[in-house]
């Protein structure tokens, strides 16, 4: 059964780069690794996803090593509005004998300070 | 803009009441999900559906049922509400093929059972 592990919380300051790593083993070999952002009293919102190597969009970058056992969400030059909870999401490995399902991390609460 | 709409933002019910939570999506997605979110426990899947009239149990289906009579609508039913069902309920949808890990969430329903 796939399992994800990410830090419970992180602190940062405005203008810094923040890297949040999610460890995930036994994930589906053909599925994306996806990251979400959640503000209080809202549903999670898709940020970025990738399959391998590096992906960059206007919000973040995502680094995935060749073994896909972890992924790192990178937020460049954070601002106060980036204070949120960040979740990683992976697919379970169907070859592990389980029905394929989506596995969520417990979330990393990022606090950006002035 | 894509949208997942949950019928209520806040709901207060009494123990033993039957509760209906409604969710509608306008993206023609096949997959629809119901999660509950509690502090420290992350997102836990209650039920999901990958087609009209189809439903699959998630990780915590006890005390809940669902209905999907139309593709765009997925309802969560608490047959007899209990205090331990006080929680944030989140509905989501995604495509079945191609990129099922890209979920679109509603804003959530904060349910309090007294």
Per-residue pLDDT of chain B (114 residues; tens, 9 = 90+): 679 999 899 999 999 999 999 999 999 999 999 999 999 899 999 999 988 988 999 999 999 999 999 999 999 999 999 999 999 999 999 987 767 788 999 999 999 999
Query: How many structural domains compose chain B?
Result: 1
**Given an 8 Å threshold on Cβ–Cβ distance, is A44 in contact with B104?**
no
Question: Measured between CA atoms, how close is A25 to chain B, in angstroms?
Answer: 17
| Domain encompassing residue B83 | 4-113
Question: Measured between CA atoms, how close is B53 to chain A, in angstroms?
Answer: 19
Instruction: For residue B44, list its beta bridge partners.
Output: B36
| Full set of structural domains in chain A with CATH | 3-113 (2.60.40.10)
Find chain A residues with C-beta within 8 A of B102's C-beta: 32, 34, 46, 49
**Given an 8 Å threshold on Cβ–Cβ distance, is A43 in contact with B92?**
yes
Where residue B37 sits, what CATH number does that domain have? 2.60.40.10
Task: Check: CB of residue A90 under 8 Å from CB of residue A2.
Answer: yes
Q: What is the 3-state secondary structure (H, E, C) of chain A?
A: CCEEECCCEEEEECCCCEEEEEEEECECCCCCEEEEEECCCCCCEEEEEECCEEEECCCCEEEECCCCCEEEEEECCCCHHHCEEEEEEEEECHHHCCCCCEEECCCEEEEEEC
How does pLDDT run across A24-68, given as a tens digit for each residue?
987 777 788 999 999 998 999 999 999 888 999 999 999 999 999
Q: Select the residue of A33, A43, A104 nearest B42 (Cβ to Cβ).
A: A104
């Amino acid at each position: 059964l796939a399992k994800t592990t990410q830090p419970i919380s992180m602190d940062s300051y405005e203008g810094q780069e923040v890297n949040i790593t999610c460890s995930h083993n036994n994930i589906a070999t053909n599925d994306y690794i996806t990251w979400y952002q959640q503000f209080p009293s809202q549903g999670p919102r898709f940020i970025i996803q990738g399959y391998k190597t590096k992906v960059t969009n206007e919000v973040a970058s995502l680094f995935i090593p060749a073994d896909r056992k972890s992924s790192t969400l990178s937020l460049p030059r954070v601002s106060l509005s980036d204070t949120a909870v960040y979740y990683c999401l992976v697919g379970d490995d169907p070859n592990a004998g389980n029905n394929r399902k989506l596995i969520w991390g417990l979330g990393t609460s990022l606090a950006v300070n002035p | 803009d894509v949208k997942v709409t949950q019928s209520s933002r806040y709901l207060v019910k009494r123990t033993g009441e039957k509760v209906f939570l409604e969710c509608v999506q306008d993206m023609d997605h096949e997959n629809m999900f119901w999660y509950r979110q509690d502090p420290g426990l992350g997102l836990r899947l209650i039920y999901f559906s990958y087609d009209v009239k189809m439903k699959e149990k998630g990780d915590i289906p006890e005390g809940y049922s669902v209905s999907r009579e139309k593709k765009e609508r997925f309802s969560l039913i608490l047959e007899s509400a209990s205090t331990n069902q006080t929680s944030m309920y989140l509905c989501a949808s995604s495509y079945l093929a191609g990129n099922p890990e890209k979920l679109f969430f509603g804003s959530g329903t904060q349910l309090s059972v007294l």
